[in-house]
Structure 1
Amino acid sequence: MNEARLEALTERLLRAGVAPRHARRAVQELRAHHADVMAELRAAGIPPAQSEGLAAERVGPDEAFVREMLARPELRSFASRRPFVAFTLLPLLAFIALSALSVGSLIAVLEAARHWRAWLSPALIEGARGLCAALFFGAMWLAPLAAAGMACLLAARQRIAARWVIAGVFLVGLLRAMINGSFDVPTSLHGSVSMGIGWAPHRLPETAVRAAILIAPVLLPYLWWLRSHRVLTVRPRH
């Protein structure tokens, strides 16, 4: 069996909702079975040209293999069965969790630095302040980018319909655009860190720009990948 045929089978299974690990394992097992049959036929003295045809008959047609796989619902991935949850709700929850983790770490570092400030050198104090600033940046920007980017990567890997991940990325971008925050911690470490969520009609342009800044670097590469790989955005129903 040539590689192009095996890749086509894998692609069909992925687009039909079979989990990547199951799809690739099944195709590898099919390859191994075909190789075993070919070796058996050649050992029996059957010419190579005839062996290929006999092996194809014993292995069975591709359609039968695909039907057999799709007849087993336990092989379908959670993402293909619940795309709304996997690529719309979970990215939002991931963004919130990552932001909360960053903010919690920021508070812990800042409180520790304030407590031990008398024993810290100026370089260590500045380092603690820089770490807090990095954690604040992570909560505000890296967390939503990571959540949205991971959703795109998983959707591409599992050939999920693009509409779900696009909706998820837009929701993450919208939520981030509605979050306002400030980091004002001088070298004395006695400043303020604030984060809040809100929206006002007069700030619509600013909100739109924030959303675009997050959505564009995540969604554009994903859309380019879809186009370059010609991945179907609508999955057939079974």
Structure 2
Amino acid sequence: MPKPFEPLRERLLRAGVAPHHVRRYILELSQHFEDLRTDLEQEGYARPKAEAVALNRIGRIDDLAQAMIDQPRLRSWNVRAPWATLVLGSCLAFAAGIMAALMLLASFGPSVPSSWAPQVASGTAFFCNFLLPLLCGWTVAVVAIRQRMDSFWPVVALGVLALVSSAIQVGVTMSGGHGEIGVGAGASLDTVVLLARNLVLTLIPYLIWRKWTETARGIMWADSSSRGG
């Protein structure tokens, strides 16, 4: 039979219960279900009948879901305060990533061979200006999809992150054992180009992925219902 508690998983995630609480709850229920089914089969029940009786003994999906939803402490902070975790958190992660990269460069840069210095400098700038915004944006998308969040706050977070990461640019030069690091903020044609690039590579994939997962889940549950009927 299809996994019996998948509808419950979806219900809890959409209600804002943190994924790790959902995962643990589903695991406990699944183990209890398997134990009951095994006991019933040993009593002489056929597999389909044993599964039906086991599910009936565990309880209705609505009741199982409500038992978790009624506990506010189990709600994810991504649902309680998405402005903080997604919007502010992604921008802080971007800033922390830049600081970490520049601190590593400052620590190990002097020991880099002169022949490698230009590549290290350009690689650091490429990471800060191009890769890091994408990594932060994709993290927002993964968190939002995993939590089954509505699109409003993830879209806001990705938009703000794209704006911030396009306005802040890191420049690195290294030559002859010496280096120079510059971090600047401003608005120019390059900023607009970077803003568009960041949106294209984070916001659009998120919206496509979200649409695809919603469609896939709808097909899966429709198929499960038809088999169950």
In the superposition, the TM-score normalised over structure 1's length comes to 0.80
- Do 1:148 and 1:172's aligned partners in 2 also have CA atoms closer than 8 Å? yes
Match of 1:193 in 2: 181
- Do 1:173 and 1:211's aligned partners in 2 also have CA atoms closer than 8 Å? yes
Aligned partner of residue 115 in structure 2, secondary structure: helix
Equivalent-residue separation in structure 1 for 2:48 and 2:207 (angstroms): 44
Question: Gaps spanning 5+ residues in structure 1: where?
Answer: 114-123, 233-238
* Structural mapping, 1:24-43, within 5 Å: 24-43=23-42
Aligned residues: 216
Match of 1:104 in 2: 103
User: Is 1:55–2:54 an aligned residue pair?
Assistant: yes
* Structural mapping, 1:87-102, within 5 Å: 87-102=86-101
What per-residue deviation string (whole Å, max 9, x for no partner) do you get for residues 146-189 of structure 1? 2122111111111222211111111111112212443444x435
Q: CA deviation at 1:41?
A: 2.8
Match of 2:138 in 1: 149
CA gap of 1:209–1:56, structure 2 versus 1, over 3 A, is: same
**Superposed CA RMSD:** 2.4
Question: Gaps spanning 5+ residues in structure 2: where?
Answer: 218-229
Match of 2:8 in 1: 9
- Do 1:129 and 1:189's aligned partners in 2 also have CA atoms closer than 8 Å? no
User: Is 1:211–2:195 an aligned residue pair?
Assistant: yes
Aligned partner of residue 194 in structure 1, secondary structure: strand
User: Is 1:125–2:105 an aligned residue pair?
Assistant: no
Amino acid at match of 2:116: G
CA gap of 1:43–1:100, structure 2 versus 1, over 3 A, is: same
In the superposition, the TM-score normalised over structure 2's length comes to 0.83
Q: CA deviation at 1:10?
A: 0.9
Match of 1:120 in 2: none
Q: CA deviation at 1:52?
A: 4.3
Match of 2:21 in 1: 22
CA gap of 1:33–1:184, structure 2 versus 1, over 3 A, is: closer
Match of 1:160 in 2: 149
Equivalent-residue separation in structure 2 for 1:79 and 1:64 (angstroms): 24
- Determine which of 162, 165, 172 is the counterpart of 2:161: 172
What per-residue deviation string (whole Å, max 9, x for no partner) do you get for residues 211-232 of structure 1? 1112211222211111111179
